[in-house]
C-alpha cells in the first residue's frame, strides 16, 4: 500500500522559479510530511522560453539541505553529459554527508539538446549517450560504494578517492524510458524511475527490468504531472494556474483533457484516489508528483491529505 512517505514533490525550476520559491517549496513538502523533494537538473528552460529564472540544480540542492531536516531530496535526474561523473560523485557524497544521509542521487543520459549546445557540450546520438552513461555509472558507483575509482573509458576516466565518505548508504536512481538504460539500472542501482508511461509501455520495460536484475532488489518509481481538486470548480482553477505557469493561453478544460489523455492522475478526490491506487497496484512503489505551481499550497495540502487517506 502506497503511503505519503513513499511519495514526493517534483519541481521544475528551469521553467521559472526563484531560489526563495524553491527552498520554500522544499520546506512546505517537509511540513506536509512528503517523503521526498526532487528537482530537475536542466541548465536552460526546457519549453524553449528564454529570459526567465532557471536556478542551477546542485547549488540549489545545497540550499535545500541547509533549509530542511527530514525530507529526502535530490536531482531527478542529473545528465552525465554535462555532469562529470567523478565530480558528480564528489558533490553527491558531500551533500549526503552534510544532510545526514538524505541525498538521493538520480542520474540519466540527458535528452534536451539545446542546453548542451548552448553551454558548449556535445550532444551525441542516443546510442553514444547510453555508452557514456554506462561508463559514468561505473565511475559513480565505484566512488560512492567503494570510495575509489580507477577507470579509463572512451568518454570518461577517473583515478581518485572520494571524501567525505557517504553517511550510510547513498541511494542511486536511474531515470530511464529505454530498454538499454533500464538494463543498466537493473544491475547497478537501487531504483528505476520513469516519467509517466502508458501501461503497455511500462509493462514492457518492467519486464526488461525483472529479466535483467536477477536477485537484485530494484525499487520502481514514477514521476509525472497530476491535478487534483475538491470539486470541478477547484480542479479547473488549479488547471488554469498550471497553464499560466507554462505560458500557455489555453482553457482549463483543455489542460485537464490533455492530462487525462496521458493517463496522469487527474480529477476530484475520489477519481484521483482510484487512479493512484491503480498505479500502485501495477507495481510502482513510489510516486513523485510533478508540479509547475508549487505556490499552489492548497492543492499540495489536498494532495497530502488524499495520499494519507489511501
Q: Residue 188: is the preceding peptide bond cis (ω within 30°)?
A: no
Tell me how far apart the alpha carbons of residues 4 and 2 are, in angstroms, rounded to a whole number: 7
Query: Whole-prediction pTM value?
Result: 0.96
Instruction: Give CB contacts under 8 A, 24+ apart, made by 17-20.
Output: 17/53, 17/55, 17/294, 18/53, 18/55, 19/55, 19/60, 19/63
Q: Can you read off the three cell numbers belonging to residue 219?
A: 525499487
Per-residue pLDDT of the chain (310 residues; tens, 9 = 90+): 899 999 999 999 999 899 999 999 999 999 999 999 999 999 999 988 888 888 999 999 999 999 999 999 999 999 999 999 999 999 999 999 999 999 999 999 999 999 999 999 999 999 999 999 999 999 999 999 999 999 999 999 999 999 999 889 999 999 999 999 999 999 999 999 999 999 999 999 999 999 999 999 999 999 999 999 999 999 999 999 888 877 788 899 999 999 999 999 999 999 999 999 999 999 999 999 999 888 899 999 999 999 998 8
Give pLDDT tens digits for 147-163: 999 999 999 999 999 99
Domains by residue range for the chain, with CATH: 4-308 (3.20.20.30)
Q: Residue 100: is the preceding peptide bond cis (ω within 30°)?
A: no
CB 49 within 8 A of CB 88: no
Give the DSSP per-residue string, 25-68: HHHHHHHTT-SEEEE---SS-TTS--SS----HHHHHHHHHHH-
Work out the number of other CB atoms within 10 angstroms of the CB of residue 98. 15
Amino acid at each position: 500500500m502506497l503511503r505519503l512517505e513513499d511519495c514526493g514533490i517534483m519541481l521544475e525550476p528551469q521553467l521559472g522559479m526563484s531560489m526563495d520559491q524553491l527552498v520554500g517549496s522544499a520546506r512546505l513538502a517537509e511540513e506536509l510530511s512528503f517523503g521526498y523533494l526532487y528537482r530537475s537538473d536542466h541548465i536552460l528552460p526546457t519549453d524553449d522560453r528564454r529570459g526567465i529564472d532557471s536556478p542551477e540544480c546542485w547549488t540549489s540542492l545545497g540550499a535545500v539541505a541547509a533549509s530542511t531536516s527530514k525530507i529526502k531530496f535530490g536531482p531527478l535526474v542529473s545528465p552525465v553529459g554535462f555532469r562529470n561523473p567523478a565530480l558528480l560523485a564528489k558533490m553527491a557524497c558531500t551533500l549526503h554527508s552534510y544532510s545526514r544521509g538524505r541525498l538521493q542521487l538520480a542520474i540519466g543520459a540527458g535528452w534536451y539538446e539545446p542546453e548542451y549546445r548552448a553551454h558548449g557540450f556535445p550532444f551525441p546520438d542516443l546510442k553514444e549517450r547510453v555508452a557514456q552513461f554506462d561508463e559514468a555509472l561505473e565511475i559513480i558507483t565505484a566512488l560512492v560504494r567503494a570510495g575509489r575509482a580507477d577507470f579509463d573509458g572512451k568518454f570518461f576516466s577517473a583515478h581518485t578517492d572520494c571524501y567525505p565518505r557517504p553517511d550510510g548508504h547513498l541511494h542511486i536512481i536511474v531515470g530511464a524510458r529505454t530498454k538499454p538504460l533500464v538494463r543498466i539500472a537493473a544491475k547497478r542501482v537501487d531504483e528505476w524511475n520513469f516519467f509517466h508511461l502508458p501501461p503497455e509501455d511500462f509493462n514492457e520495460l518492467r519486464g526488461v527490468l525483472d529479466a535483467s536484475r536477477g536477485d537484485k532488489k530494484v525499487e520502481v518509481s514514477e514521476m509525472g504531472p497530476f491535478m487534483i481538486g475538491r470539486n470541478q470548480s477547484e480542479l479547473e482553477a488549479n488547471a488554469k494556474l498550471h497553464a499560466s505557469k507554462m505560458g500557455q493561453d489555453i482553457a482549463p478544460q483543455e489542460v485537464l483533457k490533455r492530462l487525462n489523455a496521458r493517463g496522469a492522475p487527474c480529477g476530484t478526490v475520489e477519481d484521483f484516489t482510484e487512479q493512484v491506487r491503480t498505479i500502485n497496484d501495477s507495481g510502482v512503489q513510489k510516486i513523485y508528483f510533478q508540479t509547475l505551481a508549487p505556490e499552489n499550497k492548497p492543492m499540495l495540502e489536498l494532495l497530502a491529505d488524499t495520499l494519507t487517506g489511501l
